[in-house]
Copies of this chain bind each other. A is one copy, B any other.
Amino acid sequence: MPQVPSHDTMLRQAGLRATRQRRSVLEALDQRDDAVTAQDLYLQFKSEDRSIGLSTVYRTLTSLVEAGLLDTFQHGDEQAFRACSPRHHHHLVCTACHQITELEAAMVEQWVGRVAEGHDFQVSSHRADIFGVCASCRH
């Protein structure tokens, strides 16, 4: 039994059939650690001669987000996606190359806990990200 589940298993667990297209998307995202837009992915597949319909790319990304397998980010006015660990985490985002590092943040979790207590508010999620420029983008 592999520690990291195969793409097919991940798809199964999400209630999705394992298709060539979905496998390609998961694979492509696994190989990069930056966030990518649907359009970018579509063009990447096209240029690699394993085209996937644009609708399919969008649908797949949406399903994978719902399954909790991807994080979403905003690149200007478009949405970008990135494979992520199943554990809750935060992000260190390079605004130049869109490379993203996952962060643990016990302090943030504590903060959320306290806010939840202090307000008559039913907390469902939270998000804490840090933006800046990574070492390689600064030369």
Count of interface residues, chain A, beta-carbon cutoff 8 Å: 34
Among B111, B112, B126, B132, which residue has its beta carbon within 8 angstroms of that of A124? Answer: B132
A40 sits at the interface (CB 8 A): no
CB 8 Å contact bits of A83-122 with B (1 = contact, 0 = none): 0000000001011000001010101101110011001111
Among B74, B107, B119, B133, which residue has its beta carbon within 8 angstroms of that of A108? Answer: B107
Main secondary structure of the interface of A (DSSP, over half): strand
Taking the closest CB of chain B, its distance from the CB of A136, in whole angstroms, is 9
Contact A111 B122 (CB under 8 A): no
A130 sits at the interface (CB 8 A): yes
- Who on chain B is nearest to A95 by CB? B124
13 contacts between A and B (CB under 8 A): A92-B121, A103-B115, A107-B111, A108-B111, A112-B130, A120-B135, A121-B130, A121-B132, A122-B138, A123-B130, A123-B131, A125-B130, A126-B129
Q: Residues on A close to B: CB < 8 A?
A: 74, 77, 79, 92, 94-95, 101, 103, 105, 107-108, 110-112, 115-116, 119-135, 138
